[in-house]
């Protein structure tokens, strides 16, 4: 009898939320998904001994779980959830209201009546933290803090008697309840990796890996691969080509798995199913036996379209091509290749959550059998791979989809002539392999890389990575071994796919700004680790359209006195004003230190003023940087033009006072320094920071506009900037012309 072998591969993945320099975690998703999904997904198989599966654990996820288990990881969400409600600052209360409701409203919030009650109160009071805050008392916040954690607990963890008692209590939680909900998490997280190791040891699962920080390997090998998959695709200005990094990413992933689980992985789910012939050669050289990707990559390679018929099945000829294991044999390598059934995988990810569990399980089992039937009818074995995220879908299912999975697994293990096997088991048992002599580079999304390259934001991110990687090559030889190691780790993290997932037009989330800031922070850390100052552009978002703060153009010449000791409203009337919108970005991990900036000119000078958040100069030592540029009327950055003159004002602030300052044309050409130039330039810091610089320094007499940007740096890294996007622009015109255009 021919056999249908069903491969189920769950891909468990989170990017690096950890700043390696500060040790701080920016986002909580490793902790929350490790509480909710990873343990239960593998533990469930204890009930179904004949259902074998493959779990792909991304190394960046494993490393971060280990941090939480050891107690060395913390994140702002956890900090706010753990703090006694009566001690929360106004900012922390608003943070709690904005971010502790980040859960599925129906299946996670709605599961707990008190949590739903608080969520409905939040929505009913304006749906913004600022409006809702006055409607929440300390007990409301305590209940929110506790329930926002329990809502992420795995179904198996909810059976814990102490956790069950907490749920039964329902509301009016005490500080002891709150402490338990926080402290108990570490014990639960400690179960995740051992559960996988134990299941692998008894043969229930195979554990595969991905490259360490989840990069798109073909693009790390060569960004020009983007145009191979999509001809005429817009590429970054600088070609990124580092196959040695791709090898290091994969090597480190394999090594970590061997270290954690005691067995070297046989297979790899490459990040986002991204493959190329160059990647296969690297993988084979490292001892990898199989790799997996999407059916569309196979379709483009073979020149066929896997188009389903009206009943959702493939024509017999197409089914025979897809439902087998292929052996790629190129000039330099060979590899067993698994190609996922895109349609059936997506049914689990996006469709079955809206169906009754038994109906969904029955439909899935029928779809699997019907899809493979044309191959079985010819007396041949069939292999049907189902591959998808093992975490993101379950918050859309009641009770994390466990009833659906139980009914599906039960049907799977009792179906005659159907085997639920790991990838390696399928390879060992298969006989009639498909043959491939070439492979079109692509990912699981449309068999191309357009999500990660091609859009303006994507390409800018690759260019910034290119510059950081080149700087590493130039500076690492003179650095110490710890410096080199840290800098290279940050490069590998910055090569991860998740940053560009959020750049470009395809994907957006409530944490867009966090991912943008994390990416630029990792790049900044490369420079800092090697003893250099990061480029100024890393202080500004790559992502366009994140914030829309208030901005007013200059409407009149200004002549303010530079004292910094008080806000003189009338002296700054007519200045251009840029006011930060702190609500548009997340508060967690981000320090908002700058509130607003003013800028303007008169006949001879350019003036600037920086107001600090909460009206207070930050207590720590820091540096202020003001970038100033003069431009001709017919020149613009986007057309490749350069400014007529570009200056950088560096101000060192120590113990709340200006220690020294300098103005430079570049890092090696000083134009002015303190105290020598105080007769022509004036700077002051008291309640705010103010400056006056001569327009002559900017060759303004031959330019048509100025633009300015302010940023605050600490320990060589950008902390905050205004404007966050672009520049403040000032027109170099007479006072009469300025008034006429106001």
Residue 589: what pLDDT?
Answer: 34
Residue 742: what pLDDT?
Answer: 55
| 730, 705 Cβ separation under 8 angstroms | yes
- Please give the DSSP secondary-structure letter assigned to residue 209: B
- The chain-wide mean pLDDT, for the chain, equals 92
Taking residues 619-640, what's their average pLDDT?
82
Residue 581: what pLDDT?
Answer: 60
Residue 727 has pLDDT above 80, yes or no: yes
* Range 4-12+209-225+237-436: architecture per CATH: Alpha-Beta Barrel (3.20)
484 or 638: whose pLDDT is higher? 484
Residue 547 has pLDDT above 60, yes or no: no
CATH fold for domain 456-539 = immunoglobulin/albumin-binding domain-like (1.20.1430)
pTM above 0.75, yes or no: yes
Residue 228 has pLDDT above 70, yes or no: yes
Taking residues 3-24, what's their average pLDDT?
93
Residue 436: what pLDDT?
Answer: 97
Condensed to tens digits (0 to 9), the pLDDT of residues 134-161 reads 999 999 999 999 999 999 999 999 999 9
Share of the chain above pLDDT 70, in %: 95
How many angstroms separate the CA atoms of 146 and 540, rounded?
A: 36
Give the up-direction half-sphere exposure of residue 516: CA atoms within 13 A in the CB hemisphere. 28
The full set of domain ranges for the chain reads 4-12+209-225+237-436, 59-192, 456-539, 550-741
Condensed to tens digits (0 to 9), the pLDDT of residues 383-434 reads 999 999 999 899 989 999 999 999 999 999 999 999 999 999 999 999 999 9
Residue 311's pLDDT band, with cuts at 50, 70 and 90, is: confident
Residue 312: what pLDDT?
Answer: 81
Residue 739 has pLDDT above 80, yes or no: no
The DSSP result for 344-372, as a single string, is: HHHIIIIIGGGS-HHHHHHHHHHHHHHHH
The continuous run of DSSP H or E covering 57 comes out as strand 53-57
Which of 178-187, 344-353, 463-472, 648-657 comes out lowest in average pLDDT? 344-353
Residue 591 has pLDDT above 90, yes or no: no
Residue 555: what pLDDT?
Answer: 84
Residue 20: what pLDDT?
Answer: 87
Taking residues 89-100, what's their average pLDDT?
95
Which residues, at least 6 apart from 397, have a Cβ–Cβ distance to it below 8 Å? 107, 352, 353, 404
Nearest of 86, 95, 82 to residue 149 by alpha carbon: 82
Residue 587's pLDDT band, with cuts at 50, 70 and 90, is: very low
* Range 550-741: architecture per CATH: Sandwich (2.60)
How many angstroms separate the CA atoms of 349 and 391, rounded?
A: 10
Residue 715 CA to its chain's centroid (Å) = 24
């Amino acid at each position: 009898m021919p056999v249908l072998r069903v491969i189920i591969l769950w891909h468990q993945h989170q990017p690096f939320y950890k700043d390696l320099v500060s040790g701080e975690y920016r986002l909580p998703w490793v902790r929350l998904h490790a509480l909710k999904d990873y343990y239960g997904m593998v533990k469930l198989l204890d009930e179904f001994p004949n259902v074998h599966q493959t779990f792909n654990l991304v190394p960046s996820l494993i490393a971060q779980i280990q941090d939480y288990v050891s107690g060395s990881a913390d994140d702002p969400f956890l900090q706010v959830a753990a703090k006694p409600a009566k001690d929360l600052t106004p900012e922390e209360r608003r943070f709690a209201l904005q971010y502790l409701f980040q859960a599925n409203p129906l299946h996670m919030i709605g599961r707990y009546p008190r949590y739903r009650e608080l969520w409905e109160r939040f929505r009913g009071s304006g749906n913004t933290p600022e409006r809702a805050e006055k409607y929440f008392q300390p007990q409301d916040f305590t209940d929110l803090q506790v329930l926002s954690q329990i809502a992420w607990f795995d179904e198996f963890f909810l059976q814990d008697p102490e956790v069950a008692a907490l749920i039964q209590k329902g509301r009016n939680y005490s500080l002891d309840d709150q402490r338990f909900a926080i402290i108990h998490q570490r014990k639960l997280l400690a179960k995740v990796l051992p559960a996988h190791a134990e299941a692998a040891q008894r043969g229930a699962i195979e554990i595969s890996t991905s490259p360490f920080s989840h990069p798109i390997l073909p693009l790390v090998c060569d960004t020009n691969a983007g145009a191979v998959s999509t001809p005429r695709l817009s590429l970054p200005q600088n070609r990124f080509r580092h196959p040695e990094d791709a090898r290091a990413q994969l090597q480190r992933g394999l090594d970590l798995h061997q270290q954690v689980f005691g067995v070297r992985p046989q297979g790899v789910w490459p990040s986002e199913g991204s493959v190329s012939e160059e990647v296969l050669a690297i993988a084979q050289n490292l001892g990898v036996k199989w790799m997996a990707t999407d059916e569309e990559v196979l379709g483009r390679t073979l020149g066929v379209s896997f188009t389903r018929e009206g009943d959702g099945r493939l024509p017999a000829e197409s089914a025979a091509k897809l439902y087998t294991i292929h052996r790629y044999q190129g000039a330099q390598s060979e590899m067993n290749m698994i190609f996922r059934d895109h349609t059936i995988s997506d049914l689990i990810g996006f469709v079955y959550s809206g169906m009754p569990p038994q109906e969904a399980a029955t439909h899935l089992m029928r779809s699997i059998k019907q899809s493979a039937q044309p191959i079985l009818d010819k007396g041949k074995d069939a292999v049907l791979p189902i591959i998808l995220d093992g975490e993101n879908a379950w918050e859309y299912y009641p009770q994390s989809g466990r009833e659906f999975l139980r009914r599906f697994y039960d049907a799977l293990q009792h179906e005659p002539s159907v085997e639920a096997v790991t990838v390696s088991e399928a390879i060992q048992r298969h006989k009639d392999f498909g043959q491939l002599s070439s492979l079109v580079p692509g990912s699981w999304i449309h068999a191309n890389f357009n999500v990660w390259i091609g859009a303006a934001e994507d390409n800018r991110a690759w260019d910034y990575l290119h510059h950081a990687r080149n700087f590493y090559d130039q500076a690492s030889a003179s650095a110490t071994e710890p410096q080199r190691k840290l800098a290279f780790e940050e490069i590998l993290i910055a090569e991860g796919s998740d940053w560009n997932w959020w750049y470009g037009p395809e994907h957006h989330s409530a944490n867009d700004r966090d991912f943008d800031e994390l990416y630029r922070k990792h790049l900044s850390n490369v420079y800092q680790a090697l003893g250099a100052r990061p480029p100024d552009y890393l202080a500004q978002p790559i992502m366009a359209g994140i914030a829309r703060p208030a901005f007013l153009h200059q409407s009149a010449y200004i002549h303010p006195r530079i004292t910094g000791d008080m806000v003189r409203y009338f002296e700054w009337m007519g200045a251009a004003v840029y006011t930060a919108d702190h609500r548009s970005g997340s508060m967690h991990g981000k320090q908002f230190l700058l509130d607003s900036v003013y800028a303007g000119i008169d006949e001879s000078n350019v003036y600037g003023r920086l107001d600090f958040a909460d009206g207070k100069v930050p207590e720590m030592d820091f540096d202020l940087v003001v970038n100033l540029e003069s431009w001709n009327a017919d020149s613009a950055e986007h057309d490749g033009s350069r400014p007529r003159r570009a200056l950088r004002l560096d101000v060192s602030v120590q113990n709340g006072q200006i220690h020294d300052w300098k103005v430079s044309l570049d890092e090696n050409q000083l134009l002015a320094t303190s105290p020598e130039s105080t007769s022509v330039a004036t700077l002051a810091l008291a309640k705010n920071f103010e400056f006056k610089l001569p327009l002559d320094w900017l060759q303004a007499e031959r330019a048509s506009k100025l633009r300015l940007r302010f940023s605050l740096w600490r320990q060589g890294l950008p902390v905050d900037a205004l404007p966050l996007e672009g520049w403040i622009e000032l027109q170099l015109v007479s006072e009469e012309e300025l008034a006429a255009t106001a």
